[in-house]
Amino acid sequence: MRVFVTGASGWIGSAVVPELIAAGHQVVGLARSDASADALAAAGAEVRRGTIDDLDILRSAAGESDGVIHLAFKHDIAFSGGFQGAADADRRAVETFAEVLAGSDRPLVIASGVLGLSPGRLATELDGHVIDPALAATAGGGPLTRHATAELVLSLASRGVRSSIVRLSPTNHGDGDHGFMATIVGIARESGISGYIGDGSNRWPAVHRLDSGHLFRLALEKAPAGSTLHSVADEGVPIRDVAECIGRHLDIPVVSISPEDAAEHFTWLAGFLAIDSPASSTLTRELVGWQPTQPGLIDDLDLGHYFR
């Protein structure tokens, strides 16, 4: 297949692209900078310069492709007060792909997330498609827009698109990670304590980014139209276990942070870190034959690369 990939040089994209190429696919990657273009070319991909705001470029690239994997999202503005703007740009990109791919039976795969799907209980691929009104009242426009975009993608099955969403674990860990785990390690290093909120029993699902890269390829090749897939290897790692591992490697105390003090200690991460959000990938494994093979979160932390 000739596959157009947005976000192709990002943390997940840089795992997806070599996965696709190794399987014999031709990759066209969207690059918004010289560094991204160079990285894609070095990986063996064809480069298409532009951003997800360049809808004519997206339209042309999708039209010339056998399938689309959409990973780009404006994380830089989303986590600095501009989540609604990032979600709106994402929506416009997806609507553009929908317009091009309608009636073609070509695949469209986008990234979504599992964090907060069913707080306090094990979430499955069947959960999260209808927003609880009470949650909607507090979620804010941006997150609701992004949820609606994922549901739009699933609905494209009725318009002749082999659409699927891959819900990612909150941590896609691995060597070179600059996401949640690296941020938690950085806070521990700077503060001199490895903290967790309350009793630390709340759980996060986790997956190695290479396993996520493999799942995106399987979704492109095999997922039936309208599929929801979960990139989850560890169903729920207690945050206290993460804190204890970090404390051991940095040789610092492991300390409970009260919910009242969490925002001061963990800053923007506090709200995410307090969520108890285990998730399952049983249905995904049955549907597309995905089997994670990389180290789990604690084993990956124990390899030491987060602490160099």
Calpha distance 31→8 (Å, rounded)? 7
pLDDT of residue 212: 98
* CATH class belonging to 2-172+206-234+279-293: alpha beta
What are the beta bridge partners of residue 166?
Answer: 111, 229
Extract the tokens encoding 243: 């804190």
The pTM of the full predicted model, rounded to 2 decimals, is 0.95
Alpha-helical runs (H) found in 11-54 = 13-22, 34-43
- Lowest pLDDT segment from 84-88, 192-196, 257-261, 304-308: 84-88
Alpha-carbon distances of 184 from 235, 265, 306, rounded to whole Å: 20, 10, 10
> Tell me, what's the pLDDT at 215?
98
- DSSP conformation class of 43: H
pLDDT attached to residue 82: 82
Residue 70 near residue 3, CB atoms below 8 Å? no
Specify the pLDDT at position 77: 77
pLDDT of 142 above 60: yes
Decide: helix, strand or coil at residue 224: coil
pLDDT at 140: 56
Q: How far is CA 25 from the centre of its chain?
A: 22
Q: What percent of the chain has pLDDT over 90?
A: 90
pLDDT tens for each residue of 40-77: 999 999 999 999 999 999 999 999 999 999 999 988 77
Three-class secondary structure of residue 55 per DSSP: helix
In the chain, list all ranges with CATH 3.40.50.720.
2-172+206-234+279-293
